[in-house]
Amino acid sequence: MSDKSAKKSGSPASGIQPWPLLTSKVLQDIPIYQLRQDTRQSPRTGKGHDFFVLDSRDWINVVPVTPEGNLVLIRQFRHGTASVTWEIPGGIMDLEHENPEQAARRELLEETGYEPEAMVFLGAVHPNPAIQNNRCHTFLAVNARPLQDQRLDTHEEIEVQEASWSEVSRMVDQGQITHSLVLTALFWYQRHLANLPPPPLD
């Protein structure tokens, strides 16, 4: 790799260095986030700058696939965009002793009533490294079947529908599925269909 391409890719050869942390303080603590103000020193200028970070537990996404090969989708109203969206099951790891796979199984069962024969890790991403510190883990739920009724929280209203992979792909093409983390999960699933392993997350 040339020096020019190394700089363009953001690799260590580009000279970008971590910014030393000078101070850190919590500004506000709410159920899903903790707002933190960090002061970091620029390695280039030596000056300190304030940055605001949202601390959160990790998130999970589940791509449930039935024995027939259909994907299990959910539909719900999202308050951020004030719109009804098509998504896949997912949520936040809300127990200290819960690992990502356990959280994925729990969310799948609660939101859809489906249970898989096995879970396969597909990949993980940082949802927004500019302002968030957490990760989103995606799992494939293999041979997911309906087991029980949904167990929704009082603030949740979720419809469940199965769709073929071609139908889901069409929904993406037509702009019916717009949630960025759902699109990422579908990308991981597509890699899985091509027998590609999940890349590591630093």
Report, as an integer, the average pLDDT of 81-109. 94
Report, as an integer, the average pLDDT of 101-116. 97
- The verdict on residue 201 lying in a domain is no
Nearest-angstrom CA–CA distance, 71 and 162: 5
Cβ atoms of residues 28 and 34 within 8 Å = yes
- The verdict on residue 147 lying in a domain is yes
- 46 and 66: one domain? no
Judged on CB neighbours under 10 Å (0-12, 13-18, 19+), 115 is middle
pLDDT recorded at residue 129: 96
- 91 and 106: one domain? yes
- 182's enclosing H/E stretch is helix 180-193
- 45 and 104: one domain? no
Q: Which of 141, 137, 95, 149 is nearest to 115 (CA)?
A: 141
pLDDT recorded at residue 162: 98
Q: What is the CATH number of the domain that holds 161?
A: 3.90.79.10
Query: For the chain, what percentages of helix, strand and coil (3-state, to nearest 5) are there?
Result: 25, 35, 40
Report, as an integer, the average pLDDT of 179-186. 97
Cβ atoms of residues 146 and 70 within 8 Å = no
Residue 202 in this model has a pLDDT that exceeds 80? no
How much is the pTM? 0.89
- The verdict on residue 200 lying in a domain is no
- 174 and 101: one domain? yes
pLDDT recorded at residue 12: 52
- The verdict on residue 119 lying in a domain is yes
- 106 and 189: one domain? yes
Give 194's DSSP letter: T
User: What whole-number percentage of the chain has pLDDT above 90?
Assistant: 84
Nearest-angstrom CA–CA distance, 105 and 110: 9
Cα torsion angle, 166, 81, 90, 132, sign: positive
- The verdict on residue 37 lying in a domain is yes
Residue 150 in this model has a pLDDT that exceeds 60? yes
Nearest-angstrom CA–CA distance, 14 and 67: 47
- The verdict on residue 1 lying in a domain is no
Question: How many structural domains is the chain composed of?
Answer: 2
Task: Please name the residue that has the structure tokens 């719109």.
Answer: 83
- 41 and 107: one domain? no
Nearest-angstrom CA–CA distance, 61 and 182: 7
**Which pair of structure tokens corresponds to residue 30?**
């709410």
pLDDT band at 1 (very low <50, low <70, confident <90, very high): very low
Cβ atoms of residues 90 and 59 within 8 Å = yes
24-65 pLDDT tens trace:
999 999 988 999 999 999 999 999 999 999 999 999 999 999
- 113 and 29: one domain? no
Nearest-angstrom CA–CA distance, 169 and 179: 14
Range of the domain at 73: 59-193
pLDDT recorded at residue 200: 86
- 54's enclosing H/E stretch is strand 48-55
Q: For strands 59-64 and 48-55, give the pairing.
A: unpaired
Cβ atoms of residues 82 and 172 within 8 Å = no
